[in-house]
Amino acid sequence: MMNNHKTVLFNGCSFTGNCGFLDGNLKHRWTELFSKKYNLSATNIAIGGSSNDEIFYRCLDSILTCKPDLAVIMWSCISRRWEYFSNNNIDDFTILNNLNTKGFCAGTAAAVEFAKLRLTYFNNMYVNFKKWLRYAIYLDAFLKINQIDYIFLKGFDNETSELSRMFRLIHQKDFDLMLFSDSIRTMLDYKNRNDEFIIQKVNELKLLYSTAKNLNWANFEDKSFLELTEDTADDHMHPGILTNQKLYIILSNYYEIIYS
């Protein structure tokens, strides 16, 4: 018998929020399709441009207040960040998505310069990836302590496909980093590090990865929501009706496997 869930909390970025749909088409979102199928009362706290750290923290806050029966969290791109201006501000956020800025103080000279400096000098993908895996592991523990069922979804690939392949090959005698993407090689600073050091760092990442992939993911080693895209929403940028339908089916199939 299906677990008696009555309420669901959705959290993520715009892929979980309005997903690029106008009001008349919001019914086509995967969140709406899922809630309707299982007759769940939904609370959706997703905010467009959310970073994974903000998804994590806001999930903790919401769980403590609304206590849903089920949480469905779609993780975002690992390079996104939120920052908070100190002057004339309490907690209004400024979104940094590569060189794009949104929210509080978006487009100001300070925000644009900060985004440029961060992308150029402080966007460490190795650390970003480890943080994302830790957030998933810690949130799993928090949800279990609070006896809340959950499902994680991957909105962006975040190099999981390349990393999974690297972890399978790392201990082979003919292992060669040149077989992998430029971003992976840059992440591991292959031009300046010896093989022993790189293998050590890869193994540290592999330990976190192996732990995280065994959590309740509907698509961790499969295509992300973005990679499923075959049509677009009203804004011509986000995944469209057909793609939302595809994700809804993936989520529903996984839900019925683990909570039946």
- At a CB cut-off of 8 Å and minimum separation 6, what does 57 contact? none
* 22-49 pLDDT tens trace: 999 999 999 999 999 999 999 999 999 9
Q: What is the mean pLDDT of the chain?
A: 96
Distance, CA of 239 to CA of 230 (rounded, Å): 7
Residue-level pLDDT at 175: 86
pLDDT at 1: 45
Taken in order of first residue, the domains within the chain and their CATH numbers are 7-79+123-258 (3.40.50.1110)
Res 171: pLDDT: 84
Cα–Cα dist 26/30, whole Å: 9
**pLDDT tens, 203-251?**
999 999 999 999 999 999 999 999 999 999 999 999 999 999 999 999 9
Between CA 125 and CA 165 the distance in angstroms is: 17
The pLDDT value recorded for residue 2 is: 66
pTM: 0.96
- 91 exposed, middle or buried (CB, 10 Å; 0-12, 13-18, 19+)? exposed
pLDDT score for 241: 98
Using DSSP's 3-state secondary structure scheme, residue 25 falls into: helix
Low-confidence ranges of the chain (pLDDT < 50): 1
Residue 198, class by beta-carbon neighbours within 10 Å (0-12 exposed, 13-18 middle, 19+ buried)?
Answer: middle
Please name the amino acid found at residue 157. Answer: D
Strand partners, 151: 72
- CB 92, CB 28: distance < 8 Å: no
